[in-house]
Structure 1
Amino acid sequence: MNANKVLIALCLLGSWMEPAASDMLDDPLLAQPVQLQEGATLPDSSRIDCASAVDFSHPLALTDAVDTALCNNPQIRATWAEIKMQSGVVGEARAAYLPTINGSVSRLKDTTTYSSGARQPSSTSIGNQYYGSLNWRLFDFGGRSANREAANEMLLAALAGHDAALQKTMASVIQSWFEAMTSQAVMDARQHIAQLAMQTLSVAQRRETKGATTQDDTLQAATALAKAQLNAIHARGDYQKNLALLKQAMGIDLTTDIHLPAQPEQVNPSDIHDLNQWLKQAESRHPAIAQARAKWQADKDKIIQVRSDGLPTLDMTAHISRNGFPNQGLSSLNQTDKDIGLTVSVPLFDGFSRHYKIQEAQAQAEQSEAQLEDTTAHILTDVVKAWADAKTALSVLSVSQQLLDAAQASVNSSRRRYDKNVADILEVLNAQSALADAQQQRIQAIAEWQSARLSLLANTGILGQLSATAQTRSQDIP
């Protein structure tokens, strides 16, 4: 095959591969991480389900709320796009190790015209001009290697940033879901107390009609009923507000009608384990720490890259041309030129620009290191706080049940005594007030335990759908 056919084949190959690259060579250098191929996963290996629609006519399960929020959150989509962008940077860094080949084919018409005094006839020639070139960097003192490593670290940082966005979104929607469910339980409890107050008022009115008591008992019972109804109205308002916050966290229309399951009356708390275990897991698994660590490593690689830019490079070049060179006229002879060689480029002086670029890169690495230390300290502090809150909530949980049982028994006893005319209305009302407080304490204790446990998982960076679901089902979370 002669030179003309080789050049034509190169040009045709390039024109054919350009439209087909997206189909056949979408990732020829294997720069995309597996997450882009298989989809993102949570720390418990569960996947985000955006395909199936949530039926809001049924009570909203926590997993459905989480899936909806993860599919609708714009920050998650932005971090996913960041992964794609950094994958492209990795591909560019890997492409620097490969040669670049260019080819061109030109159809030229060359016309030469002489002045009238030269007595030379004008001439015109038409022909094809072919040109091909190859450039390949062979050695550069580690610049490409450092650039590749920096790109890899930034890709890891992008992946960790996406995981951090997932964790943040999950923690937000889970917290909103529990707050809405807790406010619903408070509303139900307040309505129950209002019903008890109404029953007490009915008994007092009946006793007053029979002459067994005075009007004072009826007035006090009516006052207690009004107060209970007022508390029930406030509780309903809080529930509607928390429900709106949940819809906002899920990224759905605020006019969507959703229902929540009832708060469990009994929970089986799991062991919190030792604090040092949580701290070690947070330091090794939290995506925000991993992101800061990858950013620091990438900035350190950047120093090597900047330094190598001021060192010599070795390149191989090769050219082949037929009937002249590009942007020139046709050769008078039907000739072919070929050349191949090695080029050593030695930077001699750049006005001290490289010196200051190195200082800038070093300062950037120092800043990233400080950011890593600050991020780690902040997250570990949050883990300690969440662990302490979980410990406290675990202790309160059992006592709140004892308080509720005692208050319920006191109400039943005082109502029986009042019916038998051996207790006054104040005893009944005080017992009902104590029951309302006990119910509030119990609901709050359950909510604080669930919130503290999940907050501990979120601050450690291991929060997933399975752990959240297990918490709602009162199962042990390993």
Structure 2
Amino acid sequence: MNAEQKKGRLRPTAKDSALACVLAAACAGNLAAAAGELHGTSLVDPFQDPLHVRPAALDTGVALPGDSAPPACPMDDRHGTDAEHPLTLDRAVDLALCRSPQVRAAWAAIKVQAATLGEARAAYWPTLNASVARQHTQTRYPDSPGASTSASGHTGYLSTSWRLLDFGTRAAQREAAGQSLVAALASHDAALQKTLSSVIGAYFDALAAEGGMRARDQASQLAQSTLEATRRREQRGVAPMSDALQAGTALAKARLAQQRATGDYRKALSVLTYAIGLAPASLAAAPIRLVDNELAEPADGSELQAREAMNELAQWMAQAQARHPAIAAARAQLAASEARVAAARAEGLPTLDLTGNFYQNGYPNQGLQLNRSQVTTVGVVLSIPLFEGFARTYKIRGAQAQTEQSEAQLADTRNQVLMEVVKAHADAVSALGNLESSQTLMNAAQASVASSQRRYAGGAADILELLATQSTLADAQQERVRCLAEWRSARLRLVASAGALGRQAVLKR
């Protein structure tokens, strides 16, 4: 025995070097993979989803009901701010769906739940841990200096564990994670429908405000021409001075209404700007320009066809209960809560694990052994929870309470969705009925103005009658535009309230 062996010094063997090389290579591989992820390379692609939990929707996108492809995000930055590219409804929908914070948050929630499902599936796989350390151990005996020892070397540790059997804990957790992922996907669809309904309402409100502003502009121009005609009649001595004064008052009133209509239009544009996800400052820099003929008069017979195509309220409510994504998400959350109750109960039952350990030159958190050693252990461990201080009882009760909460949320979501359907259906029926009435009012007001102008020119009518008919015409024009906007908005919002609105339906409006 040589001097180094007497002192208990251990030199690294070939196995030590090999283990160190393997661990170093693993560390280098992890660093390279991390670097590849940061730089967008494909080094980590094989390890992105080894358990296949990522839903296909994250790669292909989510298509709206009735559509064959997901909405396309506009690539340019004009956003309907110039005359050559006015903001159409379908473009406003695309901008809103691509920029909505609610939609982005729901999209991120899908990724979160997919990762949770991956964790639940990973519980079926074994775990492997390894460690290597360089140590120096020195033992001194003050009364016997010759007996002092010192040792330097490597220690290695390798352990594995594999759960072979439980009583449903992992299955229940996997079921809960899967239902939560289903709920996240449905919640994303619900966010899309909510965004569609919001942007459609904002778009047609802006169109109605623009139509009202134009109607008030025309009324102001008509009042200006009436004042000029009255002044000419006054100069010829045909009309008294009071007629010119009343015409001037009507003009001032028309201009005030024009200013208010302009303010309402600007406010509606601001709301639309927010709905499609643009910065408020962009409205001042480049105001949105809407399509001129978006509220064109419907073709003959189209109102009757729309009335015949309008389903009964019971059909819309049945469709919403069967298809609305918000209700589907609430149902999935209830199923996930029920699975968590089963998981909480199963966690208090026995488990069976297969374990294996390999120790070289010592044990973790202990000093280096003087002699080289290798220890291997293999065993089967049966764990039986006997008493947890009543924690299991309260955990089960908490899970059951969450299930009751999910049941109440499902009922509340169903009531909210059906209430929205009822309101949207009533709005659509009312708007459809208002179309015919507004057209009748428009025709009557135009005829009254034409008759009053002829009568006033012939001296058979006074200025009050003429101004009254002109005011009625301005109101009729504004009501006609409003009724057209309300009808087109209401029928699309009805489909969105039922959870079945797609981009193709928007294009076929």
CA displacement, residues 447-474 of structure 1 (integer Å, 9 cap, x when unaligned)? 2212321221221122333323332xxx
Aligned counterpart for 1:91 among listed residues 118, 128, 151: 118
Secondary structure in structure 2 of the residue aligned to 1:120: helix
Asked whether the equivalents of residues 158 and 291 of structure 1 are also in contact (C-alpha less than 8 Å), the reply is yes
Matched, 1:436 2:474: yes
Matched, 1:466 2:496: no
The structural deviation recorded for 1:362 is 0.8
1:263-412 → structure 2 map (5 Å cutoff):
263-267=294-298, 268-269=302-303, 270=306, 271-412=309-450
Distance in 2, matches of 1:406 and 1:46, equals 47
The structural deviation recorded for 1:382 is 1.5
The structural deviation recorded for 1:175 is 1.4
Distance in 2, matches of 1:10 and 1:97, equals 26
- Residue 463 of structure 2 aligns with an amino acid whose one-letter code is I
The structural deviation recorded for 1:139 is 1.1
Distance in 2, matches of 1:324 and 1:235, equals 86
The structural deviation recorded for 1:6 is 7.7
The structural deviation recorded for 1:16 is 4.2
CA displacement, residues 130-167 of structure 1 (integer Å, 9 cap, x when unaligned)? 22111001111110111011111112222222333333
| Count of residues paired in the alignment | 469
Secondary structure in structure 1 of the residue aligned to 2:252: helix
Distance in 1, matches of 2:504 and 2:20, equals 59
Distance in 2, matches of 1:13 and 1:409, equals 91
Matched, 1:38 2:76: no
- Residue 427 of structure 1 aligns with an amino acid whose one-letter code is E
Q: Please name the residue that 2:232 is paired with.
A: 206
- Residue 266 of structure 1 aligns with an amino acid whose one-letter code is E
Q: Please name the residue that 2:10 is paired with.
A: none
Secondary structure in structure 1 of the residue aligned to 2:160: strand
Task: Between 302-311 and 30-39, report the one with greater CA deviation.
Answer: 30-39
Secondary structure in structure 1 of the residue aligned to 2:128: strand
% identical equivalent positions: 47
- Residue 110 of structure 2 aligns with an amino acid whose one-letter code is I
CA displacement, residues 272-299 of structure 1 (integer Å, 9 cap, x when unaligned)? 2232332122112222212211111111
1:4-403 → structure 2 map (5 Å cutoff):
7-8=19-20, 11-12=23-24, 14-19=26-31, 20=33, 22=37, 23-24=44-45, 25-43=47-65, 44=67, 45-49=69-73, 51-55=75-79, 56-57=81-82, 58-116=85-143, 118=144, 120-251=146-277, 252-254=279-281, 255-256=284-285, 257-262=287-292, 263-267=294-298, 268-269=302-303, 270=306, 271-403=309-441
The structural deviation recorded for 1:48 is 4.4
The structural deviation recorded for 1:4 is 5.7
Secondary structure in structure 2 of the residue aligned to 1:133: strand
Indicate how the Cα distance of structure 1 residues 223 and 453 shifts in structure 2: closer, same or farther if over 3 A, else same: same
Asked whether the equivalents of residues 54 and 64 of structure 1 are also in contact (C-alpha less than 8 Å), the reply is no
Task: Between 354-363 and 407-416, report the one with greater CA deviation.
Answer: 407-416
Asked whether the equivalents of residues 200 and 493 of structure 2 are also in contact (C-alpha less than 8 Å), the reply is no
Q: Please name the residue that 2:4 is paired with.
A: none
Distance in 1, matches of 2:290 and 2:57, equals 33
Indicate how the Cα distance of structure 1 residues 283 and 167 shifts in structure 2: closer, same or farther if over 3 A, else same: same
Q: Please name the residue that 1:474 is paired with.
A: none
Distance in 1, matches of 2:25 and 2:168, equals 32
- Residue 261 of structure 1 aligns with an amino acid whose one-letter code is V
The structural deviation recorded for 1:5 is 7.8
Distance in 2, matches of 1:49 and 1:313, equals 51
The structural deviation recorded for 1:9 is 6.7
Unpaired segments ≥5 residues, structure 1: 472-478
TM-score (norm 2): 0.86
Asked whether the equivalents of residues 334 and 407 of structure 2 are also in contact (C-alpha less than 8 Å), the reply is yes
TM-score (norm 1): 0.91
Indicate how the Cα distance of structure 1 residues 372 and 3 shifts in structure 2: closer, same or farther if over 3 A, else same: farther
RMSD: 2.3
Asked whether the equivalents of residues 7 and 104 of structure 1 are also in contact (C-alpha less than 8 Å), the reply is no
Task: Between 139-148 and 122-131, report the one with greater CA deviation.
Answer: 122-131
Asked whether the equivalents of residues 160 and 291 of structure 1 are also in contact (C-alpha less than 8 Å), the reply is yes
Indicate how the Cα distance of structure 1 residues 283 and 108 shifts in structure 2: closer, same or farther if over 3 A, else same: same
Distance in 2, matches of 1:17 and 1:295, equals 40
